[in-house]
């Protein structure tokens, strides 16, 4: 079963630079990274709404409103992410955009794990994680070399 999750993660990872490039072209068409992001989110929201209609076991409940304030910020972070990729792809290219985003993701992930932020189970930074993060940063430097 773990192999299916790994495959799912790899496909999701491959979808990101594809989405970035498509959204950058959409920006060229509409002339604005904000409008391109809005269109992208509307289309994605419609797709999720359609999928949600088939999720019968999940219903609205008042407990949703009792969570911490930051639980609702994921959409804002997603919007920032999409706008950033639309702005970056035409300026620094797909490989550099993904390389820098990956570096930011791995650094944030290790810190979130280490401090148990946002309810994530604590997984302390160790030598192996430090070496892994360092290798990713070195990989980004190599991707930047022309």
Average pLDDT over residues 34-52: 94
CA distance 31 to 46: 23
- 13 close to 101: Cβ distance less than 8 angstroms: no
pTM value is 0.80
Task: Encode pLDDT of 69-108 as tens digits.
Answer: 898 899 999 999 999 999 999 999 888 898 899 889 999 9
The owner of tokens 């650094």 is: 107
Is 62:108 a contact under the CB 8 Å cutoff? no
Q: Per-residue pLDDT tens for 1-11?
A: 899 998 998 89
């Amino acid at each position: 079963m773990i192999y299916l999750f790994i495959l799912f993660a790899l496909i999701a990872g491959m979808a990101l630079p594809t989405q970035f490039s498509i959204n950058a072209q959409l920006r060229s068409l509409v002339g604005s990274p904000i409008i391109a992001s809005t269109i992208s989110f509307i289309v994605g929201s419609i797709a999720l709404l359609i999928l949600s209609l088939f999720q019968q076991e999940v219903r609205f409940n008042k407990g949703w409103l009792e969570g911490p304030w930051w639980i609702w910020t994921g959409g804002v972070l997603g919007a920032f992410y999409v706008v950033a990729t639309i702005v970056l792809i035409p300026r620094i290219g797909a490989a550099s955009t993904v390389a820098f985003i990956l570096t930011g993701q791995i650094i944030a992930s290790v810190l979130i794990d280490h401090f148990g932020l946002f309810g994530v189970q604590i997984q302390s930074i160790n030598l192996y994680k430090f070496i892994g993060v360092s290798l990713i940063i070195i990989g980004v430097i190599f991707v930047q070399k022309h």
